[in-house]
Chains A and B, each alone.
Chain A
């Protein structure tokens, strides 16, 4: 038996298929994964993401700590509640994890890190935090529910506690608000508008049921994966890990090399940028019937071979899409080995879908 979130019993009662996800017993879906996917693209859906770990960093040295630990630049976070996406790197530029960092005040930042990497992240952060007296507090007492879709915010606002609802309604994109022990951020992992709501574990079942009553569809990790892939968002462990840098993972836009700020991994990335990264992460659109899956071999002609890192059937585009790590010079059309057959695919720039609309030519 794996670890269970405070919503586990509700998932089982709702008919969920439970699978192991990084040591957690999580719902992969409640019925049709494609219908759950469409609910988020067209209306509103919600996900139990309580397996992800909220980490509070407290102390006067918290901003200098994150300036050093993160490849993105937290000096950009000046307004309380503003958040950014960043990689946390090894000295050699390999990605330890990707995370969201939110600035609350000069003595308090909040991180949300991946479930499967929580232990190593905490060890890494603590090692650097103790030198400058920052307290690292994993918040295992909090659950988290992501509510996503074009109607997610309006439907959710009717069931949020009054004080929270008003603050949430005023949030700009990538902003968060803390109200008592609740924490609402206008972020997500689907390419749609919405909130990620963290709250005390004991309050989570009531919110889940209230949101279901407000017409928000429970969705499993299966739909979450097809949604994030359509949105062109990387999954840690699939699309990047400690053996690749953000520059080789389509995440150059999250790295701030300019200026004198010295973060862990900077030197390695500067060298890589100067030499030109050998590999790149691209989007693929399969041109024939079939489904791209991770680890399929991709032949990019004279440029050499690469590998699909994530692949699926896109319910919105009704075509198979994927992310692949290819030699840097790969371009145009490539061949993917799918169950022994070579199938043509086209390199495209993610995202594939944003706010319900196709972003690539089919």
Chain B
């Protein structure tokens, strides 16, 4: 079973979003996603200053088994990529909702839109085989 913290929002493509006190958004991949990928060996994070479109690929997570894109569910400007993942990709496996965060961005207009799921919605999505 994978964990789904109640205070985060989620996408159907298995990213999570956390609103930080300064209004910026932290993004990572869910516990379910890291379990499915298996041991991560390589994470490519975006550089600060990069502009992301909503739904665009913003990072690559690569496990022993497969490579997978991470999509930004919202448009914005990257304020930081998690540089630790360059040498410690396993942080995503060990602590996907904490030290394994992938990027932070400043949203273009307002917060995350209505297409995001809450924990219950994401849990239902997983139960349905999503």
Contacts and interface: CB of A to CB of B under 8 A. Distances in A.
Contact of B42 (A32, A34, A226, A289): A289
A33 B39 contact: yes
A312 B39 CA distance: 12
B contact residues, range? 10 to 19
B38 to A, nearest CB: 5
Given A289-B42, A290-B42, A339-B60, A33 B67 contact: no
Contacts, number: 33
Contact of B64 (A34, A289, A339): A34
A33 B60 CA distance: 20
B47 interface: no
B38 A293 contact: no
A116 interface: no
A109 interface: no
Contacts of A29: 38
B62 A33 contact: no
A226 B64 contact: yes
A222 B64 CA distance: 8
B41 to A, nearest CB: 4
A313 interface: yes
A222 B63 CA distance: 11
Contacts of A293: 66-67
Interface string A301-316: 0000000000011010
Given A291-B67, A293-B67, A339-B67, A222 B62 contact: no
Contacts of A339: 60, 67
A94 to B, nearest CB: 29
A33 B64 CA distance: 8
Contacts of B65: 28, 33, 222
